[in-house]
Structure 1
C-alpha cells in the first residue's frame, strides 16, 4: 500500500475508496475519493505509515473503563476477530455492537443503522 501511495497516488485514492466504501453507494465512494484526492500526498504517506504500522495491543490490558466496540459486520480492513480480540483483552466491562453494513465507513453508507447502535449504547431515544 505504501508503495502505491508513493508511486501512483491518483490510482491509489480510487482503489482505496472502492475498498473502504460500500460499492452499492457510488455517491459516498465519489465523496471519499474526492476527499482523499484533495489531500497532499506528502502528508498521506506518513499518516498511512503511522496508522498501518502502529501496534497498540499491549495498551488494551491497561484499559479498565467500560467500553463498547462498534464493529461493521463486513469490514475488509478490520475483521470481526479484531473486535473480539479487543473485547477479550480490555480489562473493563466490554461489549461488541455490530452495525449491519458493508465496508469500513458506516457513517457514510449506513448512517441510520450507526445512529441506532450508538443511541442504544448511549441510552438515548431516537
Structure 2
C-alpha cells in the first residue's frame, strides 16, 4: 500500500519524521520507552553518508503530534507497530534496516512478522519480549516489582524518573548520564507514559519471536537490569536467523553511553550483511 500525498504529510507531522541522506539503503531508528528520536543524535550522523536515515517519534513521545494520541490505540504494542507500518507506507520505504532500542525491538519484531517483505534486517538493542520471571523463563522482574513501578508512575512520576534513571544507565562513574536521562524522562506526559509503560512492561511477545524470518542482530550489554543477558540469549535462541553480540558497554542505553562501540558493531554487521 502506498499512502496518498495528504496521508504522507499527516504521518510526517504526526510522528515528527526527519530524514537525512539520499541513498537507496534505508535505516529506520526507533526509540525506546520514555525517550524520543533525539537519543540517536550520537549514532545516526555516522550513517548519513552511506544510508538514508529515518528518525521519528512515536505518537505521544518527543515532538510528535500529541493531538493524534488515542489511549485505546496505544494500550498495546500493536498501536506502535501500526505507527511504524504507516510511516513506512507513507514514505514508500521498502527493504529497510530497522534499528530498535528496548521495546522498539519488539515493535520491530511484530512489524517484521506482519510484513516480512518490508525489512532487510532487524537490529535489536537491549530487547526483552517479556519482563516477568516465570518457572521456565527469567525476564528479570517479579510481578510485584512491575506493579510497583507502574504504581509509582501514577503516584509520583518525577520520583519514578529519579529512581529509574540510574538503574537504566548504570555507569555510576559517569553520573551525568543518569541525570540527562532523568531529564529526558521528565519531559513526558505522565498519563501518556503510564499507558506506554503498561504496553511495554505487561506485553508478552515471546510467541511471536519464532515467526520472525528477517535476519536479526541482537546487541546485548553488560549489567543491563532492564534486559539481562539471559533475556538477550533467549531472544537469540528464538529467532532462527539471528546473531548475538555481547557488547563491552554497560547499562540499557549503549547508544547514549557508548556511542562509538554501538556505531562500530552496527557498521560491521551492515557491512557483512
State TM-score, norm by structure 1: 0.91
Structure 2 match to 1:75: 224
Distance 1:78 1:120 in 2: 23
Distance 1:8 1:69 in 2: 34
Structure 1 match to 2:155: 7
**Cα-Cα RMSD:** 1.3
Structure 1 match to 2:119: none
- Equivalent residues, number: 123
The equivalent position to 1:85 in structure 2, one of 234, 241, 255, is 234
Tell me which of the two structures has the higher relative contact order, counting C-alpha pairs closer than 8 angstroms and 6 or more residues apart: 1
Task: Give the 4+ runs in structure 1 shifted more than 3 A.
Answer: none
User: Equivalences for 1:1-126 in 2 at 5 Å?
Assistant: 1-21=149-169, 22-91=171-240, 93-123=241-271
Deviation string 1:41-93 (CA, Å, 9 cap, x unpaired) is 111110000000001111111111221111112211101111111111113x2
Distance 1:116 1:74 in 2: 20
Unaligned runs of 5+ residues in structure 2 are 1-148
Distance 1:39 1:72 in 2: 26
Q: CA deviation at 1:24?
A: 2.3
Q: CA deviation at 1:25?
A: 2.0
Distance 2:243 2:238 in 1: 12
Distance 2:222 2:150 in 1: 26
State TM-score, norm by structure 2: 0.43
Greater fraction helix = 1
Higher-Rg member (1/2): 2
Distance 2:237 2:248 in 1: 22
Distance 2:190 2:236 in 1: 35
